[in-house]
Structure formats: structure tokens, C-alpha cells
Structure 1
Amino acid sequence: MALRSVCRWHNGEPAVLSSYGLRVRLSRMEDQCRVLAAAVETLDDVFYVYDADGKLAYWNARLNELFGLTDGELSGMDPTEFFVADDRAAVEAAIEDVFESGQTSVEARAETTEGVVTFELSGRLLTGDDGTVQGFSGVGRDITDRREREWHLERQNERLTEFADLLAHDLRTPLAVTSGHLELAAEELSPERIDAARDGLQRLESIIEDMRTATREGTLATDEQAVDIADVATTAWVHVETSNAVLEPPPPILVEADLERLLRLFENLFINAVTHGPGRDERTSDEDSGVDTTEITIRVVPTPDGFAIEDNGRGIAPDERERVFEPGASRAADGTGFGLYIVRAIAEAHGWTVRATAGEHGGARFEFDIDADTAC
């Protein structure tokens, strides 16, 4: 029966009352039932209760509205009857799961009065005081719009990746031809001009590779495992040209992350620190503070919400701290402008956030906030 009828008494009154006190207690129970039923009726989601035989026992009016069925038609229906044929096997498996494990969740599509709806269905086992199974209850939530948005986003990401691959292919062909002619011209031109041309071609190659990486990092699913930030940072440091920069020994920080992508994140941040930090000829020793400023020092530190990477270089002006994550934001002569954009893409692919701020010694600091369910 519909949930709005569950708490009704016969003819609106308790059948037999032996005392005034009992009448009061029953009246209170009836009021509580009415409040509960009214609350469930306000839900935009479908609420349902199935008995121990897996037959529909109680529901809210939303189910009537979506399927255009009366209480009499709904009563005793099997769960699979609501859904399209292709999804019924998944619903059956979910019902078996709720009776075996005590809870379940599944997605299934149904033809409704509002068109084809994708439901996210939950189930929780119901037991009596003596432990006997009485059935299960749950909620059917319409996630059609969410799934459509995800589908369109996936298609957009796929097209973006395809575009980047095609563009990279088309650019590399003339680059290869140009490189070949450049080698032939080296016999006639000055070494300085040849070196300048080679540097330009190498920069184009770097931009192409970073562009392809930028289109992929935020779309590919992460293969997460328990990793130690200290190990990742140490390995990344070996992979990049660090000049006179120094990495302080990082402390152990355990997170759930994709190892290869996290390695790329640290490499990009280290390159950023070394590239944008002042050179040796721009720095002087500060004897009063006791801080050695003859080289860039980079630290990896734990934070209450995750970890941070900071240096003692030039730092980032407050009005530039958001813009540095945009593609093409680099102002370095040899920068591609994709380094920090890729850092943010990798962080967001893990469900993290990253922000730029000031370091302890005035340099740049990048703070990563990790969701509670991703930290070890």
C-alpha cells in the first residue's frame, strides 16, 4: 500500500481501547506515523519497502506519479518489473546482494511518465527484534541529468584529446622537414644561427608534448595506490635539471595516488621552482638572517589537509597566483606555459585542490588539499 496509508487506523480510530491512557498513547503513535508518512511523501526521490519475498509492500506517491499506476497495481510488484530488459539482471543481482550482505546499490533505467529515467537505487535490509528478515527498504534517485552531463563531458574530453593528437601529428611533420633542411644549411650558416634555430624547434617540440599531456591528465582515470610523497619527490628530483637548487630531505607523507602522474606533478613543480627562481648572480648572502640565499632551496612539508611544496625563490605576486595555472601563463623565455596547468589537472584528477600562495621565506608555495577518503 502507499506509504500515506501505512499508519491509518481502521475507520480512523483504534479498534478497541481499554483505558484513557491507552487511547492517548495510541493517539501519539498515530500522530508520529502521520508525520513520518508526510515527510516521506515530500521526497522528490522514490521511497520503497519490499517484504521478505521481494515484493513491493510500501512506497511513496512519487512511484505512482512516475509509472502512472494505482496503489492496487503497484502492490506486490517485483522490483525488476519497473526497469528496461537490459538492466533487469543487474537489479536481480542487487536484490540478492541486499539479502546476503545487508545493503546494495545499483543503477538501472526505467520507462516512466517523464521519459527514460536512470535511477540510482539503494537497499538496506530490514530485520525484526529477533533478527528475522522482514524485507528491505531504499530510495530510487533520478540521476539522468548527471549521467548525461558526464556523458557529454567524456565526449568533449575525447574530442579534445583527438584534436591534440592530430595537431601534434600535423605539427611534427613540418618540424621534421625543417630540422632536415636545418642540418643541410648548417654547412653554410653560422653556428650561432643554427643553434638558435635548433632551440626554436626544441621549444616547439616541448610545447607540443606538454599540450598533449595537458589534454590527457585531467581525463584519464587514475590508477591509485598507497605511495609515499617522500619517495616520489626524491625520484622526481633526479629526473629534472636542478642546477644549483637543493631539495631538503622530505618527510614521509602517505597518500592514495597514481604514482606515474604524481611523479609528473612533482617534476613540473621542481622545474617551475628552478626556472622561475633567481639565478646565482641575482642572489646575495643575508648574514643578518643567517639564511643562505646563494641557491634555491625546495621543501616538501605536510599540512593539516595534505601537503605543500615551497621554495625560497622570487615567489608569485598575489594577483598572479590564480593565473599561473592557466595554459600559456609562463613568462620564462624557455617555458611552455603548460607546466602548472598540468599540475592542477593531475591534482583535480585525484579529487584534490591546489592553490598558490607565499612560502615561509617569501618564495612560491603550492598547497594541496586532499579529500579525507584519499589520505592514508
Structure 2
Amino acid sequence: MEDRCRVLSAALETLDDVFYVYDADGQLTHWNARLNDLFDLTDEELSGMAPTEFFVEDDRAAVEAAIGEVFDVGQTTVEARAETTEGVVRFELTGRLLTAEDGTVQGFSGVGRDITARREREWHLRRQNERLSEFADLLAHDLRTPLTVTSGHLELAARAEPSEHIDAARAGLERLEAIIDDMRTATREGTLATDETTLDVADVAAAAWSHVETERAVLERPPPILVAGDRERLLRLFENVFANAATHGPEDDGRRLTVRVVPTAEGFAVEDDGRGIDPDDREWVFEPGASLAADGTGFGLYIVRTIAEAHGWAVHVTEGDEGGARFEFDVDADTTC
């Protein structure tokens, strides 16, 4: 037993995290040396300290509430800042109730982890995303005005003297509109999915199908597939997958394209019997600006991936049962780093 205690004590001293034990009165009784180092306090000075004494004034109320929670429900997690020998550190603090064999409450133990760098990265990423979204909105606003004016002049010119050159110019403007829409979506859909509810993939897919030009294609309605998701974003996801299938469908031989949405062990998949995607291109097609079509914007499948990842899903493309493309969505994937 003594050997086990020595090994356990030595293991705790190797932690970069702070380990602590408080008694039933909320006084510090055991800790590792990391606590001494961070606060430059001796064992005598640390003994008996209350949890709130370590943290800045603004965060003490949250720490006090967490202590109440651990005694009420048996566990807690809270974040609080402290002034340490390494500067101001934001800790993620855990607490677990300690009880004797007869159920008597003896106190609680836990770990304090330095999450300062992680929170700073998250903050900078949020600001970067906000700036990117703002830039996309401003750019879209500034582009739409000259596009609208140019479109008006083209319509007047077409009435006066129809020309294939005017038709080509009109098609170019429509492509610019599509790029603007996709650019704005790409900068927004990567944020965390909100308003998640239980949805039937079959219903969302059928609604999205009606929004896409699929004159030479047919959708085989899937059986009910229930997922937790944001309906509006999933509509966008299916619209882009279906548009990709229609664009890269069968060669112009009169054959209709068949698209299926099927349940899988991991979630669901969308597959077609079109031309498929070359194995060498299957990761590349998800990159922003990537397009295998001459008139593609290159954002469609990038948007599909960002929406999937916003839900915590993974998506990858492979070959369908009939040689076309198959997009598989793993709804239980862990996409965190």
C-alpha cells in the first residue's frame, strides 16, 4: 500500500495540471506541487485555503456556485481566472464529491487545467470568421449594384437588337450572381449549427430536390432517416449535392440520372449513377474554388463540407454502387482537433 501511495504521489507531481482536494468545510487539504509553483506559496500557506482565494474578484461568484453544485449534485465544471507566476491564467476547474463508505461527505477533489491558449485561439478564430463574413457581405453589396445596372442595360440592348453575345454576357452575370451567393454562404455556414431539431432526412432531401434544376434526373425517396440538424442549412447541403449530381450526370445520351439518399450505419449517403468523381479528385473537390465544370463556381461542395462539419459530421466521397459519385455523411463523427 505504501508503494502504491508513493507511485500515485509521484504521478500527481508530474502533472502540468493542478490537482487539489478540499474537505467538507471547503478547506484545501491536499495538492500537487504545480499549485505551489503557480501561486508561489508554501505548503503552510496553502493549507486550509478556500477555493475562491485563488481567483480574480470577478470570477469568485462562479467558483462559489460551482462549490455549491458539487455538494448538491456530486460534480461540477467551471472556468475562472487567476493571477499566477505565469501571468493571468484561465482555468477549467472540475470537482467530484468524495464520500466515505457509509456515505458521509468528506469533501471533493478535482483538477485545474490551463485553457488560456485554447480560449485565445477560439476568440481569434471567432473574430477571423466575423471579419470574413463582414468582408463577404460588403463585397457582395458593392458587386450587386454594378451587376444590377449592367443587367438592366443588357435587357434594354436585347430588346433593341437580340444577339448571342448579349446572351453570353447575361450568362456571365448570372454566374457572378451565383458566385456571390456561394461566397456569402461559404463564409457563414462554417459557424456552429444552431436551432438543431430532430429532422427526417427524407423530408429535407425532397424539399431540396424541388429547388434544383433536375429535368433529366429523378430522386428515389429514402426511408425515414432521423438526424439532429438545422433544417435551413441541411436544405442548402442537399441542394448543393443534388446540383453537383445534375451537373456531373450521365453523358448526353438521353439517359436519366438517378439519385438516391440511403441510410448507412454511420448516418446517410447520397449517391447517383452518373459519371462519378475520379479518386485523385475526391479530396480536392471539397476545396474552395474547386470545380470540374466549366461553368461551376467551385464553392458548392466546399459549402457541403462546411455545413456537415458545422453539425459535427464528417463527409467523404467515394464510388456509388452503379459507378457514380457517393457522398457519405458520418453523423456521429468527432471532427474536433
Please, what TM-score do these two structures have when normalized by structure 2?
Answer: 0.95
State the 1:186 CA deviation: 2.7
Name which of structure 1's ranges 224-233 and 66-75 shifts more when overlaid on structure 2.
Answer: 224-233
Tell me, yes or no, if the aligned pair for 1:248 and 1:297 is still in contact at 8 Å: yes
1:71 corresponds to which of 43, 46, 51: 43
Pick from 115, 119, 136: which aligns with 1:164?
136
1:277 deviation in Å? 0.4
3-state secondary structure, aligned to 1:152: helix
Q: 1:333 Cα deviation (Å)?
A: 3.7
Report what 1:312 is aligned to. Answer: 273
Tell me the distance in 1 between the aligned counterparts of 2:283 and 2:142: 32
Contact 1:66 1:113 (8 Å CA) reproduced: yes
Matched, 1:45 2:17: yes
Q: Which moved more, 1:103-112 or 1:301-310?
A: 301-310
Match of 1:4 in 2: none
* Residue number in structure 1 paired with 2:93: 121
Q: Report the alpha carbon displacement of residue 299 of structure 1 after superposing the two structures with TM.
A: 1.1
Letter aligned with residue 160 of structure 1: L
Match of 2:232 among 255, 260, 270: 260
For 2:208 and 2:156, how far apart are their aligned partners in 1? 37
Mapping of residues 287-326 of structure 1, within 5 Å? 294-326=255-287
1:308 aligned counterpart, secondary structure: strand
How far apart are the structure 1 equivalents of 2:219 and 2:274? 13
Matched residues, number: 335
- 2:234 is the alignment partner of 1:273: no
In 2, the alpha carbon distance for the partners of 1:355 and 1:186 equals 44
Give 1:373 deviation, angstroms. Answer: 8.4
Structure 1 gap ranges (5+):
1-28, 284-293
- The alignment yields a C-alpha RMSD, in angstroms, of 1.6
Structure 1 match to 2:253: 282
2:325 corresponds to 1:371: no
C-alpha distance in structure 1 between counterparts of 2:334 and 2:184, whole Å: 30
Deviation of 1:255 after TM superposition, in Å, equals 1.5
Q: CA deviation at 1:178?
A: 1.0
Q: Take 1:221 and 1:65, find their aligned partners in 2: how far apart are those partners?
A: 41
Offset at residue 198 of structure 1 (A): 2.0
Residues 273-313 of structure 1 deviation map (CA, whole Å, 9 limit, x = unaligned): 0111025x325xxxxxxxxxx21111112222221111000
Superposed displacement of residue 199, structure 1: 1.8
Q: Secondary structure at the residue paired with 1:156?
A: helix
- The C-alpha deviation readout for 1:121-161, integer Å capped at 9, x for no partner, is 10111111111111111000111111111111111111111
Q: Secondary structure at the match of 2:16?
A: coil
2:169 to 194, 197, 214: 197
Whole-angstrom distance in 2 between the partners of 1:230 and 1:341: 22
The answer to whether the Cα contact below 8 Å between 1:66 and 1:112 also exists between their aligned partners in 2 is: yes
Gapped regions of structure 2 (runs ≥ 5): none
8 Å contact kept, 1:323–1:329:
yes
Matched, 1:345 2:306: yes
- For residue 118 of structure 1, what is the amino acid of its counterpart? R
Could you tell me how far apart the structure 2 residues matched to 1:341 and 1:271 are?
Answer: 13
Partner of 1:173: 145
Q: Does structure 2 retain, via aligned residues, the 8 Å contact 1:222–1:349?
A: no
Aligned residue identity for 1:195 = D
2:113 aligned to 134, 138, 141, which one?
141
Contact 1:232 1:262 in 2 (8 A): yes
Q: Secondary structure at the match of 2:160?
A: coil
After TM superposition, the score normalised by the length of structure 1 is 0.86
- 8 Å Cα contact 2:270-2:328 kept in structure 1: yes
Q: State the distance in 1 between where 2:113 and 2:253 align.
A: 61
Which letter does structure 1 place at the counterpart of 2:240? N
Which deviates more, 179-188 or 102-111? Answer: 179-188
> Whose Rg is larger?
1
Give the aligned partner of residue 237 of structure 1. 209
Instruction: Name the CA distance, whole Å, in 1 between partners of 2:293 and 2:161.
Output: 28
Contact 1:228 1:255 in 2 (8 A): yes
**Structure-1 separation of matches of 2:273 and 2:96:** 54
State the partner residue of 1:219: 191
Q: Secondary structure at the match of 1:239?
A: coil
Question: Within the alignment, does 1:33 sit opposite 2:15 as a pair?
Answer: no
Tell me the distance in 1 between the aligned counterparts of 2:250 and 2:333. Answer: 37
Greater alpha carbon shift after TM alignment, 310-319 vs 177-186: 177-186
Contact 1:40 1:47 in 2 (8 A): yes
Q: Give the corresponding residue for 1:356.
A: 317
SS for the counterpart of 2:290 is coil
Q: Does 1:87 align with 2:21?
A: no
